[in-house]
Structure 1
Amino acid sequence: MKRREFIAHFVATAAISTCPAYAQKGVLPVVGYLGFDAAEKSPELLVAFREGLRTLGFEENQNVAIEYRFAEGKYDRFPELAASLVQSSVQVIVAATGTNGVLATTAATKTIPIVFAIAMDPVSVGVVSSLNRPGGNATGVSMYTPQLVAKRLELLAELTPAGGTISMLINPTNPNANVISSDAEAAAKSLG
């Protein structure tokens, strides 16, 4: 199973297990799904998400309903889309969006359970209060990757033993930009 499929499967499992309606007979649980790209751009995530639901005995439009919202790659759409899911009275929100979408979702509701997949440390960006006791209404999986910046620079240094300049492109609208750039600078200094 690929990493993205595993994460989608984990998120589906966590989403339904946190859904209060799951325990009630005769009530169709409604899962809100907030995605970063258009549905056509990440079909493998949706397939894995639905498969995760199926392994728990949930079939879309049979015993679970899913409200989909997609930002189509536009960070600024997340607040509006998260608010739309909250207004739709979903029982749980799956934020398959990265940091910006998770932040917008946690800002939109403090009561609806949120299950996320995030590439940053969810504590440092304020999504949860701690890793072992998240608190609040959000939980999920973190692929905390900034520590990999040092390893990537180390590999580049090995590939170019004569030295040189290494440039790094960072999306300035990404809330992780400052953390990534400071980690890269610290790693570069340690490597000389």
Structure 2
Amino acid sequence: MRRRKFILAVGGAAFAVPLAVRAQQRDELRRIGVIVQVAQDDPEAQASVAAFKAAMQELGWRNDHNLQIDLRGAAGDPERMQALARELIALKPDVILARSTPVTAALLRQTRTIPVVFTVVSDPVGERFVESLARPGGNATGFTNVESSLTGKWLELLKEVAPSVKRVAFIFNPKLAPGGGSYYTRLIEASAPSFAIKPTVLPVSGADDIEHAIDE
């Protein structure tokens, strides 16, 4: 029961939602693995982890006291995500916090027993991380970062800002984007005619490819 409450605390802290009932301080050391998609020293990652630690402390879990957080950053490298997943799983943490779709996928390919709490995942059902949003099942649960119906809203807002826009490029990395990019591209392509916009899909493998893709 205590382990379940701890996992729920991790989920609440990951979403930065204050809970009415705070966990009591415990002497037993708990271990959390954290993998972020960006580099470990990325400013956004550092800010997110700092907020996570602060939220956990509010719940009674203090880093280096009754909690150990093992942070890893993949720097956008899918192969490194797999290696970091193996590394953290070997440490046998109580729970792993995964930030992004590819990081979550890397973890769930290697463990179906250690609880995984994910954030910044667009389509957890389509990626088969969970059985459904209402009943996740398995060892994974978490939070989505966007609702699919909002994709059409992006084009609507773009038209409001720049009414003369006729062509829109959608740039993504197939190795990192949900569904290899199809989660968003199919929705954008379906919505585009309503706004008299011609969408162009531009898959890239890294930052160096972006300028070349746009020039074409």
TM-score after normalising by structure 1: 0.82
Q: Gapped runs of 5+ residues in structure 2?
A: 1-9, 18-22, 197-216
Contact 1:12 / 1:52 at 8 angstroms: preserved in 2?
no
Q: What residue in structure 1 maps to residue 77 of structure 2?
A: 74
Q: In the aligned structure 2, how far is the partner of 1:94 from the partner of 1:162? A: 43
Tell me how large the CA RMSD over aligned residues is: 2.5
Give identity over the alignment, percent.
31
Q: In the aligned structure 2, how far is the partner of 1:8 from the partner of 1:89? A: 18
Q: What residue in structure 1 maps to residue 149 of structure 2?
A: 147
Q: What amino acid sits opposite 2:140 in the alignment?
A: A
Q: 1:62 to 1:10 in 2, by over 3 A?
A: closer
Q: In the aligned structure 2, how far is the partner of 1:87 from the partner of 1:144? A: 32
Asked whether 1:182 is paired with 2:183, we answer no
Asked whether 1:36 is paired with 2:37, we answer yes
Q: What residue in structure 1 maps to residue 116 of structure 2?
A: 114
Which of the residues 62, 70, 82 maps onto 2:65?
62
How many residues align? The count is: 177
Determine which structure has the larger strand proportion and give its number.
2
Q: In the aligned structure 1, how far is the partner of 2:174 from the partner of 2:74? A: 18
Deviates more, 1:78-87 or 1:169-178: 169-178
1:99-124: CA deviations, max 9, x gaps? Answer: 00011111111011111103312111
SS in 2 for 1:152: helix
Q: What amino acid sits opposite 2:130 in the alignment?
A: V
TM-score after normalising by structure 2: 0.73
Contact 1:8 / 1:49 at 8 angstroms: preserved in 2?
no
Q: 1:72 to 1:66 in 2, by over 3 A?
A: same
1:76-133: CA deviations, max 9, x gaps? Answer: 211111111111111110112x100011111111011111103312111111001111
The higher-RCO structure (CA 8 Å, 6+ apart) is 1
